[in-house]
């Protein structure tokens, strides 16, 4: 039933009464009021009437033969279709009317006979209005329920969509997190995740004294060469293969991480001694020492490993890692393809190195360097033939620092360019000044050391040209000392540079000869003037009275290649005598003089020393 029906259609009233008179009177009143009235004389007729059309209201007489009004009412209330239709009982005054019974049977009101018309109408109207309202409420309820239902359904659908959205977001989040915490090439944990794990281990070790752990820091040796020569694709393939091999050397409890580049870190848990960590390092080293058969190449790759013990006294996981890193660098400087266990002394050294680097930068700006000169003696005459310029660093607090203590760091930091250029320039200026002094023999030469690093700078020759031009020096009086490593590469670029220097009349000397690996065939193809025999061979010569070690052979090589031999580190008259007997051309060493300050050089020459 819709709202319109509810209010507009004629209300249908069913009167159930066995007395025809009553029926007539009642129906007349109601019809006059605009109701549709139907009549039934008993239950049977009433039932038929209801089955045809359901009335809006029933007026029910109590006193009826066979089935009385109470029973009719009960039956109407029992039948689902009629149970909502309001029933008003109608009773004669003289009837024994039981109101309680009437309400219990389901009646909603009662009217007594003889009828007051007004009363009948009001009660009928009331009940019909009540029923209408109830039906409307029911209708609204149903409507509401329907709406709630669709709303609920909509909500459920939205919820479902939301859940899908949420789970896909969650998936994405874990994926992102995974990316953020893992290395994309190898799939291994990255530095961030590793440090988290390390922090957990450190915290656990602080609480549980039985828990012990160690950190390994691994860096591949000369990995850059593979990358540079075979390409990054091969480099990547190699890194993946390396990570697999390392993983195979570990237990499932250990954590392997890649820190980017060719660096890996390993957290070893459940170990009881540093020896166990060393065993793992050994195992890794062995696994890595076998050839890597990549898709197109076979490559050999070693690694240097630093080990630090997970002492609970560490404040931060980063410190542990730093120490393993320091130990790794130590392993590298000790010759690579090995492991090194960190000891606290190394940390001190690392800090010192850092300070040195800082100071060195400042030293370049402030030009804190000075040059000492060590005489070189022509052994045949015993007279001074030249000097070697040797740099020192006048450190503001640490005093005089020797080149072996800062040149390697300067090379590492790229500071060797400004330093060595300054030395070159200063020595040339000095020589120019000396040459203007009558006390200074005009045939004296000065040797300048050139770091191997300088030869990777293609401007080297023009820098030197510039210095010659500025200082007006004649290169004929200058010897350039280079180490074997420079010519070891046998590269055309280096050959060209040396050739150009040679054209400018510089003399070229191989310094520390015998300590490198120069091949004699290479030596031959370079425009060299002298070989400077390293002091370690001169030293052995003295201990080895009978065969004199390799020195005679080195002098022989020099002469056979048309070069002069210079012996370095001559400290005793015996060494001098031996070298003279071997026809060594020149000598240098404490026996003659230690390196001296430039102010003392003229004075020194003035004494006309002779050995
Ligand atoms: P080097 O070129 O082989 O220089 C010879 C080193 O041996 C000098 O050490 C010198 O003082 C030392 N020496 C000389 N006679 C004796 C001796 O009788 N006994 C002993 N035990 N040692 C002796 P220094 O001055 O400490 O220099 C060390 C190294 O630093 C040099 O070795 C050279 O490679 C490098 N160096 C020095 N000055 C310069 C420079 O101006 N530029 C560059 N790039 N390197 C330099
Ligand atoms: Mg030298
Ligand atoms: Mg030397």
Question: Tell me, what's the pLDDT at 93?
Answer: 59
Question: Pocket of ligand 1, candidates 364, 402, 449, 455: which has the most ligand atoms within 8 Å of its Cβ, to mutate?
Answer: 449
Question: Which structure tokens are listed for 138?
Answer: 């029911």
Give the ligand whose atoms come closest to the C-alpha of residue 538: 1
Q: Is 216 left (phi over 0), alpha (psi -120 to 50) or beta?
A: beta
Q: Is the separation of the CB atoms in 318 and 196 below 8 Å?
A: no
Question: Tell me, what's the pLDDT at 3?
Answer: 46
Closest C-alpha to ligand 1, atom 19: 569
Question: Which structure tokens are listed for 516?
Answer: 């490198």
Question: Tell me, what's the pLDDT at 309?
Answer: 93
Residue 318 and residue 408 in one domain: no
Rounded Cα–Cα distance for residues 69 and 59 (Å): 10
In three-state form (DSSP H/G/I as H, E/B as E, the rest C), the secondary structure along 70-116 is HHHHHHHHHCCCCCCCCEEEEEECCCCCCHHHHHHHCCCEEEEECCC
Residue 446 and residue 566 in one domain: yes
Ligand 1 closest atom vs CA 390:
38
Give the tens place of pLDDT for each residue, 92-141.
Answer: 756 677 788 888 999 999 888 788 888 889 999 999 999 889 888 989 99
Question: Tell me, what's the pLDDT at 7?
Answer: 52
- Indicate whether 352 belongs to any domain: no
- Indicate whether 248 belongs to any domain: yes
Q: Is the CB of 390 under 6 A from ligand 1?
A: yes
Question: Tell me, what's the pLDDT at 13?
Answer: 95
Residue 438 and residue 560 in one domain: yes
- Indicate whether 355 belongs to any domain: no
265 - beta bridge partners? 217, 257
Distance of CA 307 to CAs 147, 185, 262, 275, 492, Å? 71, 25, 17, 11, 41
Question: Which structure tokens are listed for 507?
Answer: 């003399």
Closest C-alpha to ligand 1, atom 43: 449
Question: Pocket of ligand 1, candidates 368, 374, 403: which has the most ligand atoms within 8 Å of its Cβ, to mutate?
Answer: 403
Distance 452 CA to ligand 1 centre (A): 15
Give the chain's residues under pLDDT 50: 1-5
Find, among 365, 26, 321, the residue nearest to 198 by Cα.
321
Residue whose entry in the numeric block shows the structure tokens 């804190």:
368
Residue 595 and residue 456 in one domain: yes
Q: Is the CB of 451 under 6 A from ligand 1?
A: yes
Residue 206 and residue 174 in one domain: no
Residue 555 and residue 409 in one domain: yes
Q: What range does the domain containing 70 cover?
A: 3-180
- Indicate whether 354 belongs to any domain: no
Residue 389 and residue 426 in one domain: yes
Number of domains making up the chain = 3
Q: Is the CB of 391 under 6 A from ligand 1?
A: yes
Residue 472 and residue 443 in one domain: yes
- Indicate whether 611 belongs to any domain: no
Strand segments (E) across 396-502: 399-401, 445-449, 478-483
Q: Is the CB of 423 under 6 A from ligand 1?
A: yes
Last residue of a domain, one of 180, 203, 231: 180
Rounded Cα–Cα distance for residues 520 and 465 (Å): 30
Residue 204 and residue 154 in one domain: no
Question: Tell me, what's the pLDDT at 517?
Answer: 64
CB count in 10 Å sphere of residue 611: 17
Last residue of a domain, one of 133, 160, 180: 180
12 - beta bridge partners? 36
Q: Is the separation of the CB atoms in 271 and 253 below 8 Å?
A: no
């Amino acid at each position: 039933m819709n709202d319109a029906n509810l209010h507009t259609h004629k209300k249908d009233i069913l009167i159930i009464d066995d007395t025809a008179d009553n029926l007539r009177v009642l129906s007349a009143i109601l019809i006059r009021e605009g109701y549709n009235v139907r009549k039934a004389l008993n239950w049977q007729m009433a039932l038929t009437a209801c089955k045809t059309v359901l009335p809006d209201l029933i007026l029910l007489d109590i006193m009826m033969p066979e089935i009385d009004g109470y029973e009719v009412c009960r039956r109407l209330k029992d039948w689902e279709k009629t149970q909502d239709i309001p029933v008003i009982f109608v009773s004669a005054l003289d009837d024994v009317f039981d109101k309680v019974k009437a309400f219990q049977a389901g009646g909603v009101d009662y009217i007594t006979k003889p009828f007051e018309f007004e009363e009948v109408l009001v009660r009928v109207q009331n009940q019909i209005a009540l029923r209408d309202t109830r039906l409307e409420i029911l209708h609204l309820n149903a409507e509401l329920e329907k709406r709630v239902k669709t709303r609920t359904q909509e909500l459920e659908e939205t919820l479902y969509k939301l859940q899908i959205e949420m789970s896909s977001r969650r998936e994405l989040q874990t994926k992102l997190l995974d990316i953020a915490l893992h290395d994309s090439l190898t799939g291994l944990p990255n530095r961030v995740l590793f440090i988290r794990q390390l922090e957990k281990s450190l915290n656990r070790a602080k609480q549980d004294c039985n828990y012990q752990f160690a950190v390994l820091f691994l860096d591949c040796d000369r990995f850059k060469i593979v990358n540079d020569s075979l390409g990054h694709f091969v480099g990547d393939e190699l890194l993946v293969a390396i990570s697999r091999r390392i993983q195979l050397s570990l237990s499932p409890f250990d954590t392997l991480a890649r820190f980017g580049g060719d660096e890996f870190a390993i957290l070893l848990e459940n170990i009881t001694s540093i020896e166990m960590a060393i065993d793992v390092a050994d195992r890794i080293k062995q696994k890595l020492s076998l050839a890597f058969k990549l898709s197109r190449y076979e490559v050999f790759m070693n690694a240097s490993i630093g080990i630090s013990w997970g002492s609970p006294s560490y404040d931060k996981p980063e410190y542990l890692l730093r120490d393993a890193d320091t130990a790794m660098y130590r392993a590298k400087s000790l010759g690579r393809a090995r492991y090194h266990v960190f000891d606290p002394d190394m940390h001190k050294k690392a800090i010192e190195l850092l300070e040195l680097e800082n100071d060195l930068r400042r030293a370049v700006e402030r030009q804190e360097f000075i040059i000492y000169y060590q005489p070189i003696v022509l052994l045949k005459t015993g007279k001074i033939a030249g000097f070697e310029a040797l740099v020192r660093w006048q450190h503001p607090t640490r005093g005089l620092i020797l080149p072996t203590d800062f040149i390697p760091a300067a090379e590492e930091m790229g500071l060797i360019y400004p330093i060595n250029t300054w030395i070159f320039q200063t020595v040339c200026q000095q020589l120019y000044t000396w040459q203007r002094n009558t006390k200074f023999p005009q045939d004296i030469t000065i040797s300048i050391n050139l770091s191997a690093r300088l030869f990777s700078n293609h401007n080297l020759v023009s820098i030197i040209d510039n210095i010659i031009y500025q200082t007006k020096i004649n290169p004929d009086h200058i010897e350039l000392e280079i180490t074997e490593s420079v010519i070891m590469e046998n590269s055309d670029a280096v050959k060209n540079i040396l050739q150009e220097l040679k054209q400018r009349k510089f003399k070229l000397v191989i310094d520390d000869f015998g300590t490198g690996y120069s091949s004699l065939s290479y030596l031959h193809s370079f425009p060299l003037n002298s070989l400077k025999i390293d002091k370690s061979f001169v030293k052995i010569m003295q201990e080895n009275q009978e065969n004199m070690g390799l020195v005679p052979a080195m002098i022989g090589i020099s002469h056979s290649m048309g070069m002069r031999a210079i012996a370095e580190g001559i400290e005793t008259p015996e060494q001098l005598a031996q070298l003279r007997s071997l026809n060594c051309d020149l000598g240098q060493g404490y026996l003659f003089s230690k390196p001296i300050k430039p102010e003392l050089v003229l004075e020194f020459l003035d004494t006309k020393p002779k050995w």
